[in-house]
A and B are shown apart, each in its own frame.
Chain A
Amino acid sequence: MKRLLYTVLCLLSITSFAQQKEYQPLKAQGNMPKDFTTLSSEKYEAQKKKINKKEARFEKKAKDDFYLKSNYHLHDLLYSGRVLYNDKVSNYVKEVAEVVLEDKPNLHKELRFYTLKSSVVNAFATDQGMLFFNLGLIAQVENEAQLAMIISHEITHYTNKHSVNRHIEKKKILRGKGAYRSISWEDRIQSMSTYSKENEMEADLHGFKRYKKTNYSYKDAQKVFDVLRYSYLPFDDIEFKKSFLESEHLKLPESYFLKSVNEIGSIHEEDNDDEGSTHPSIRKRVEYIKKKTDGLDNTGRVSYIVGEQRFKEIQKIARHELCNIYLNNLQYEKALYNAYLILQNEPNDLHARKTVMKALYGLSKYKNAEMFYEVHGDYTRKEGASQKVYFLMDTITSKELNTVALNYAWRLKQENTNDKEISLITEDLMKDLVFNHTQDIEDFSTTPHQAVSTNAKPMQFDSVAYNKLSKYEKIEYKQKFKESNIENNPSFDRYAFVGMMNDEFTELFEKFVTEKEKKDKEENLSAEQLAAKRKKEKKENKRIAKKGRAFGIDKIIVVDPSYNKIDERKGNSKKLKSSENAQISLQGMIRENAQSLNLDVEVMDNNTFQSNDTKKYNDFVTLNNWLGERAVHLGNEIEMVNINQNQLSEIQDHYGTKYVTWIGYTGVREKKENAIYYLCISCVYPIFLPVGIYYAVNPEFETYMYCIVFDIEKGEYVWIYKNKLEDRDSKSLVKGTLYDLLYQIKSKRTED
């Protein structure tokens, strides 16, 4: 019996090892905080009431302006799809903050800690008591104590009301109030920078005082500035090995890898001169803290209080999240190197391997579309080991990159046969290879490459030497390098799929060859066929104009319906309160119209989330992030498989629909530029006076509307609609046009 139990346990452990759980993206947890569920207008009114009536009129007005703008802008940030609450990282930061504020538990209760999905190494505090910590920062800080120092710094910004004071001071400076009355414009700009730096120094000083009360190490308080100094670099600096992207038969040329890389600090000069900057230079800050720590006894002080294990776990999460952030931002090279660093410690980490695949996929897509400059970083400006990645991507041809990406994806697919994301990306890479590079499978060898001995060694690219060359010497050098590369590495991609070209591979290849042939035929129509096609299109357009589109969708998710009211007369400023009201009204109209059309809708509106809507909020975040990335691809006219397809599949299953829409309205009150002209004409010809007065007085409006419908299963857009109406965005206009949009989504075609 014991033996049986032992065997079962062994089997279970083996199974769990084999099915290593993929890293799951960080998500918000628990109930939604009040910061999310309270309307901006309510938050603004609450803060407005706190303004001391005895204060000077100018300050009261400036504060009112600050509370109004900051609350609405914060709302936009909270629902940008980048903020997480009650997640593992936020909770951890909160715990560290508890240590920092051990003597001030009430202050700790007052503060709210949020994680911001941003790769930038930064944190910030708001006047409302919200503290945001970027994942880029968490990924880079070395220990808990360093994080505690940053928390202390940010708490000071809150307690000393730096945000609101900075706003008031800025207004004073710009309007030349008080001491700024008699100073020049240049000096005023300088004063703004000085004031901001003073705030930062104050936050460092007071933050350190608070930090001192804890048992964290003084050394870490100093070292945290190193984190900031090198924040432009990846979280580690490990040589990028050639073998990383190679397989048994796919061998990349030596010449595609830099022999030496730029030294850290050689390109990115430290900004010692902080004139005009909002922050003091790092050097000054280090010196400042150093002075404060000199002579202090560090004995018994530690780097971890909450716990090292916990910190490592959180840091790991942040580093994994960086992969997703980079992919979403189309920073594929950064994502690739970030995943490479993770894989150094966890070589089988599926999330990191998939990040590599997705990064290669993105790079290949953009290179094939000749839009590589949109996603590629200049390798000559990079420092450290990651420079090799940028150089490789710069040097490799589109066909080679497509082949390398497909090779990597195919290998991953063989190991993860049930992963939808991997399958879709692999297929798309295969399709790209066929459509853009070759329709002959014999271009790829089935037998290994026979090494040819050659005396000529491939030329190595020396970036250090290259940077010292003149413009013409650089051109010459590159040409030589290219020739050497061709001579020494004939078609390495020919052997990329040796041993991989099984039936599945060849069938997929042939499938796309057939598709390509079909597409070519469609593109080369005879004059008669072309005329018939145009006739059909014309008929279809006529039908659409009359009856609208008919997508026959029964259920749809409406994400983040937006409504902006803009006043051109006030410098295109957004009317914050009326925009909020209009947006609330819009989501109501969506529900109402959908109901009358018998269209099942799930509205994810950022003004109507309730405290128990966390699941919905996470889906909202996923969809909005996806759209953000998608919008850039669309702008670049690139069709790509979703980077986070698996998450989208979950959403699809949960809501029972694969259709998602983004709907938005913008009402613009236009600036009346010809009013005087109309009045002048009327004065010359009094008969036109009534008309002249009408045109001079009558306000002019424009309404912009859009509706984007996506099929998240295929990652394709179903409908992109935008329209400009020469009319006021009255309730009836919005309701009528909205009904029309939803009607087109719902209705089915009755005839062909």
Chain B
Amino acid sequence: MKQNKLLLLVALLLSCYLSNAQAGYLGRKFLLKYNLHTNIALNNPTYSKLAGYGNDGWLEGLEYIAEEDRFGMNVINEIDLEYIYSRTSSVSGVIGFTRTSIEHQIADVVGTSNESDFSGYNSNLGETVYYKNLLNARDLPVKARSFSLGIKHTKYYKSYSGIAPLGLYGAWSFHLLRSTAEIKDLSTKLQEILETEETDYSLSNTTFAIGYELGRQQVYYDRFVLSLAVSFKYIYGAKLLARASEYYDYGSGPSFYNDDNGNYNEYDLQEEDPEYFTQESRLKRNMLGRLGLQQLFNIKLGVAYLIK
């Protein structure tokens, strides 16, 4: 099956090449491009910190600050093979890759609080509601990576250069993203907390994204292309802005949670679901939020080579 797909792709490219469609800059139809997406994330879920009451990392209570603002520079690498099929339009296949790390905090239940009423909790639900565990917030270094496959349709503005791939352009794209978070070398204590026997732990998530970019390209020496663009991408499932800038409830369940079937749909979870507050769910959302924001708005620098 894979072989057939490859053959189909080769046949498609060949037919494009052999067709008389010589429209485009000097009749060159393929553009192999490397893009570096970057944004300066001033407000960014690089670090998800639990916050609450208590001292020295010992927390009492359920309210946590989801994230702390951190300065960070995000980078996405992208390789793009563009086929110019008409004077002002092209289609591309895009492969993107990004890596990041998250300082994720998990909560370790170290005891049960005798406290039943916290200041600030002026609740009418009664004291019993607010007994909670004594928690220890532990930093958990998580490495996350994301791999994307996408297709893109680019339209070059006629009033600018009138010829692809030159001048101002706008492009719509669709991407499939596979994101993986990895926690390596879990200590015994962490294994215990996470209720796992593995020393490495990884969590994957697949989703899709829709993107639009607006940019400008210039050709040099008839072959080399430099581009500058701004790109926007919306990743389904990533509650981006909420994660980035607002307080958010993170779960404090003692373990990475799996339901009875061993899977659940992250996006269907509501706050009233017990899974919502699991540490696994929290990590997943944190990771998606992190990667999602990284994709949301980017300045994109590209270098490309025009191929006949």
A positions within 8 Å CB-CB of B? 545-548, 593, 596-597, 723-727, 730, 732-733, 735-737, 739-740, 743, 747, 750
Contacts and interface: CB of A to CB of B under 8 A. Distances in A.
Contact of B163 (A547, A726, A730, A740): A740
Nearest to B218: A732
Going nearest first, the 3 A-B pairs with the smallest beta carbon separation are A732-B219, A546-B86, A736-B25
Name B's interface SS: loop
Contacts of B22: 597, 743, 747
Contacts of B222: 732, 735
A672 to B, nearest CB: 19
25 contacts: A546-B86, A546-B89, A547-B23, A548-B23, A548-B87, A597-B27, A723-B162, A725-B160, A725-B162, A726-B160, A727-B160, A727-B167, A732-B166, A732-B218, A732-B222, A735-B26, A735-B222, A736-B25, A736-B26, A736-B163, A737-B161, A737-B163, A739-B163, A740-B23, A743-B22
Contacts of B162: 723, 725, 737, 740
B20 interface: yes
Interface size band for B: 20 to 34
Given A548-B87, A732-B219, A739 B20 contact: no
A733 B27 contact: no
Interface of B: 20-23, 25-27, 86-89, 159-163, 166-168, 218-220, 222
Contacts of A724: 159
A137 B163 CA distance: 51
A733 B166 contact: yes
A596 B27 contact: yes
B23 A726 contact: no
Contacts of A725: 159-162, 167
B167 A733 contact: yes
Given A545-B88, A747-B20, 18 more contacts: A546-B87, A546-B89, A547-B23, A548-B87, A724-B159, A725-B160, A727-B168, A732-B218, A732-B220, A732-B222, A736-B26, A736-B161, A737-B161, A739-B26, A739-B163, A740-B162, A747-B22, A750-B20
A547 B87 contact: yes
Contact of A727 (B20, B25, B161): B161
Nearest to B163: A736
Contact of B27 (A737, A739, A750): A739
B27 to A, nearest CB: 7
A743 B167 contact: no
A548 B23 CA distance: 8
A356 B89 CA distance: 55
A735 B160 CA distance: 14
Contacts of B87: 545-548, 740
A342 B159 CA distance: 54
A433 B160 CA distance: 47
Contacts of A730: 218
Nearest to A724: B159
Contacts of A732: 25, 166, 218-220, 222
A743 B160 contact: no
Contacts of A743: 22-23, 27
Contacts of A736: 25-26, 161, 163, 166, 219
A470 to B, nearest CB: 57
Most buried by A among B161, B167, B220: B161
A597 B308 CA distance: 13
A733 B218 CA distance: 8
